[in-house]
Amino acid sequence: MPIHLFWGDDEAARNRAVDALIQQVCDPSWQTINLTRLDGNDQGQAAQALAEARTPPLGAGDRVVLLQRSPFCNQCPADLASQLEAALGQIPDHCHLVLVNGAKPDARLRTTKALKGVAEERSFNLPAVWDGAGQVELVSRTAREMGLAVEPAAALALAEAIGSDSARLASELEKLSLYAGTGKAGGPGAPITAAAVAALIGSHATSSLQVGDALLAGQSAEAIALVDQLLEVNEPALRIVAALSSQIRGWLWVSLLDAQGEQDVAVIAKAAGIGNPKRIYVMRKQIRGRPPGRFLRLLGQLLEVEAALKRGIDPGDAFRDGFLLAGP
């Protein structure tokens, strides 16, 4: 009765694990029949996943039923919880029910307790922005998953250049694998060196978080220069906007709740949508002395940048025009 519970905010790593499982157990010739991809945001599709997981595979290989955004471990409706409990004992050995969600399972739910006893559980969590050692480990773990060897100095350089951006990390490792002579990601060859990282990615560590820090400090020219570096390495412009918007919204929530006298970091983290409450301490230091209106103005600027990008304006010009509207 193979049931797999994958959760965590590292979407790229989750997707790699799902793809690896599908390649391992599902015969490519029978995937159109034996592979089902469903969305748990739709309660009907969640129920369909339970029904399909009880159907034996046809032809060669196993059946895989993939349910993204699974509701079973977070705010699961009572009728759906009953359907899950009834289905758990009826899933054949050659069927794989893969439940994927970004949030940590709620241990208080009866569905979570039922799954804990029968599911293979794997977590995929990104390290915090201040966790340098965790970011280096993310580089090393991602490289191992891709079958690549990375020298310690190269892992450190990649962590400094990319941080916790797991999707970009995987993309850069693929490029480095070719540059280092492996032929393809996952192939044998020389290990990735720090020199290769410097040559292909650059020695200057740049991330969307640094752009946000520059905007927070009122350093518009520095923010524009950092964005230009990101665009030069083919970072999607709308992804930069999304990362900055998330960062600034977090600052705004912390600022507003601090102004209301809220001291419980867990309450602030939940309201701001921040997974690790410890991050609140760092954010408080970053925004000290800055009023909420400052963050609202920054969000307004990003809205202008996003609108310009969607009108087809050159990304560099869109960011430059938007950021130059900034005041200190």
DSSP 8-class letter at 296: H
Q: Is 279 exposed, middle or buried (0-12, 13-18, 19+ CB in 10 A)?
A: buried
- Name the token pair of 161: 């250049």
Question: What is the dotted CATH code of the domain comprising 3-123?
Answer: 3.40.50.300
For residue 98, list its beta bridge partners. 4, 66
The tokens 């524009």 sit on which residue?
Answer: 224
Q: Are 291 and 255 in contact (CB under 8 A)?
A: yes
Q: DSSP E strands: which ranges in the chain?
A: 3-7, 35-39, 63-68, 95-101, 119-123
What CATH number labels 132-200? 1.10.8
* Per-residue tokens: 84: 């899950």
Predicted local confidence at residue 280, as pLDDT: 83
- Which CATH number fits the domain 208-323, given the four candidates 3.40.50.2000, 3.30.300.10, 1.10.150.170, 1.20.272.10? 1.20.272.10
**Nearest 5 degrees, angle CA 231-CA 237-CA 238?**
165
Q: Amino acid identity of 139?
A: V
**Torsion sign over Cα 141, 147, 151, 154:** negative
Please tell me the predicted confidence (pLDDT) of residue 129: 64
Question: Cα–Cα distance between 270 and 275 in angstroms, integer?
Answer: 7
For residue 202, the model assigns a pLDDT of 60
The neighbour count for residue 182, using CB atoms within 10 Å, is 21
Global pTM? Answer: 0.61
Compute mean pLDDT per 10 residues along the chain, 328 residues long, and list them.
Answer: 88 91 94 94 93 93 95 90 91 94 90 90 82 86 90 88 83 86 53 86 63 89 90 84 88 89 84 74 85 91 93 93 68
Residue 5 is predicted with a pLDDT of: 95
What are the structural domain ranges in the chain?
3-123, 132-200, 208-323
Calpha distance 208→214 (Å, rounded): 10
Q: Hey, how many other C-beta atoms are within 10 angstroms of the C-beta on 121?
A: 15
Token pair for residue 222?
């520095």
With a CB cutoff of 8 Å and minimum separation 6, the contacts of 164 are 126, 127, 128, 129, 135, 138
**How far, rounded to the nearest angstrom, does the alpha carbon of residue 107 sit from its chain's CA centroid?**
22
pLDDT of residue 189: 63
